[in-house]
Structure 1
């Protein structure tokens, strides 16, 4: 990891010195090893603060939304899931490719800093071993899919077992059993919107859930409003979710949000595929459910 950190710092310094970027997005450490957060370097003098370690799990592509209305030239470091997020933003016309200098780092799986923080909090009855984050075990693309410069050799997929095994378990339930399952897990939602804030595909300037005139969805944390929130949000992710798993990782009440997303990924793949969101950038391309083709299946009519 130290070698990667040094290489990132070297590239960032070169880009600033050659006046190729105005800001460089990476990570910085603010205490213990697991206390890592996104970092915006504004000059070559800031580059020494950049680190890359096994806790750099945050998807930096989401941070690009902070710059979409400006003209800053942006350098940034991406892992596989981060790079799929960049493709998502390019397809949604949220930022222009020529503004980006992308440094790719093949990923071997990250550790979850939230799990490490809970270990140190004293609330756990016993210390837990901090292994690769659970979301990384579902990863099908650990290598950057779009980049200007790549650091290190590519890695094999991290996915363990069958990709949609949990989805198929839910599909095999009866309708009543499925409803009860989702009623139980979504009843714990506190509507903090952390899942929305961390999602690179949630790039609307005004979210439907913030609208008051008209108010489309109630703001109470009852089962009905919670279900409406998660169903609408998941529908907006259909064909667009890049499977970074950040929504589920940051959920303070541990709702299995990726289960819903993966169900839609599976269905979109079956109906419109083979299709995987954000796996390659083709100028002018759109996600599966953002375009119309006369040959689209219409069995539901």
Structure 2
């Protein structure tokens, strides 16, 4: 990855030096050896801080929302999942394509710094071996789907059957068993909203869960309020989730959020597809549940 890291710095230096962009988004070293965090280089002098290695797991496309109201031109480094987030923002009219210079990297998978952090904390009962991050194990788009230039060797995608294996297993359960399962896991939610903050599709300027007049959902961590929060958010994600897995990765109580998201992605593809979110950008295109067709299924009415 050292070669890719050097190439990213070279591209950033060239774009900033020529005045083609105002900001270049990548990653930099955090406080710990295994920690990386989003970095915004605004001059050639800052380019040397850029790092790309196996710990650059954060989906940088979410950080683009910090710049949606400015006119600055942005250079950004994206992996496959990050690039799907770019398309999500373009379709939601949060950004214009002309403002972006996208440097894609074919991704062989990342390590999860949270695993290393838990191991170092001393609070984890069993030591977890550092390997491929859990969310990378079901990635079917490791190569960028939108980019101005691409670095690294093209990677072989995983199969969709592998991605939906847990969903299909869950579908075999009875409705009562499914309800009891989610009643159990959602009762542990502490309503920290980490899943929302990490999600590129959660780009509403004012979130329904932050509103107080009227207050649509209670702030308590009761089972009913927790279930309402996750149901509303899941349905908001239907047809819009890019399946990057960041929501589940950052959840402090390990709620299997991607089981919900993947189930809805599978159903949208089945009922309104073929469709996968954030795969191809076409100006003016919208996700299936954001548009209406007379041929849409209506058996549920």
- TM normalised by structure 1 equals 0.97
Q: State whether residues 109 and 158 of structure 1, in contact with CA within 8 Å, keep that contact through their aligned partners in structure 2.
A: no
1:223 corresponding residue in structure 2:
223
Name the CA distance, whole Å, in 1 between partners of 2:52 and 2:295.
46
Matches within 5 A, 1:167-206: 167-206=167-206
User: The residue matched to 2:57 in structure 1 has which SS?
Assistant: coil
How far apart are 1:32 and its partner, in Å?
Answer: 4.0
User: The residue matched to 1:34 in structure 2 has which SS?
Assistant: coil
Q: State whether residues 140 and 160 of structure 2, in contact with CA within 8 Å, keep that contact through their aligned partners in structure 1.
A: no
Deviation track 1:68-109 (CA, whole Å, cap 9, x = no partner) reads 000111000000000000000000000110000000000000
Q: State whether residues 65 and 203 of structure 1, in contact with CA within 8 Å, keep that contact through their aligned partners in structure 2.
A: yes
2:3 corresponding residue in structure 1:
3
Name the CA distance, whole Å, in 2 between partners of 1:35 and 1:97.
30
How far apart are 1:193 and its partner, in Å?
Answer: 0.2
How far apart are 1:120 and its partner, in Å?
Answer: 1.5
Count, aligned residues: 301
RMSD value, Cα:
1.2
1:33 corresponding residue in structure 2:
33
Deviation track 1:146-170 (CA, whole Å, cap 9, x = no partner) reads 0011112211114596322211222
Name the CA distance, whole Å, in 2 between partners of 1:188 and 1:228.
14
User: The residue matched to 2:163 in structure 1 has which SS?
Assistant: coil
2:135 corresponding residue in structure 1:
135
Q: State whether residues 72 and 99 of structure 1, in contact with CA within 8 Å, keep that contact through their aligned partners in structure 2.
A: yes
Deviation track 1:191-241 (CA, whole Å, cap 9, x = no partner) reads 000000010000000000011111110111011000000000000000000
Name the CA distance, whole Å, in 2 between partners of 1:218 and 1:206.
16
1:153 corresponding residue in structure 2:
153
2:72 corresponding residue in structure 1:
72
How far apart are 1:52 and its partner, in Å?
Answer: 0.3
User: The residue matched to 1:130 in structure 2 has which SS?
Assistant: coil
Q: State whether residues 185 and 255 of structure 1, in contact with CA within 8 Å, keep that contact through their aligned partners in structure 2.
A: yes
Q: State whether residues 139 and 163 of structure 2, in contact with CA within 8 Å, keep that contact through their aligned partners in structure 1.
A: no
1:116 corresponding residue in structure 2:
116
Name the CA distance, whole Å, in 2 between partners of 1:208 and 1:162.
34
Q: State whether residues 138 and 162 of structure 2, in contact with CA within 8 Å, keep that contact through their aligned partners in structure 1.
A: no
User: The residue matched to 2:265 in structure 1 has which SS?
Assistant: helix
Question: Which deviates further from its counterpart, 25-34 or 8-17?
Answer: 25-34
1:249 equivalent to 2:259? Answer no
Name the CA distance, whole Å, in 2 between partners of 1:255 and 1:240.
20
1:57 corresponding residue in structure 2:
57
1:165 equivalent to 2:165? Answer yes
2:268 corresponding residue in structure 1:
268
Q: Which runs of 4+ in 1 moved over 3 A?
A: 158-161
Q: State whether residues 189 and 255 of structure 1, in contact with CA within 8 Å, keep that contact through their aligned partners in structure 2.
A: yes
How far apart are 1:284 and its partner, in Å?
Answer: 0.7
Q: State whether residues 137 and 160 of structure 1, in contact with CA within 8 Å, keep that contact through their aligned partners in structure 2.
A: no
- TM normalised by structure 2 equals 0.97
Question: Which deviates further from its counterpart, 156-165 or 61-70?
Answer: 156-165
User: The residue matched to 1:51 in structure 2 has which SS?
Assistant: coil
1:88 corresponding residue in structure 2:
88
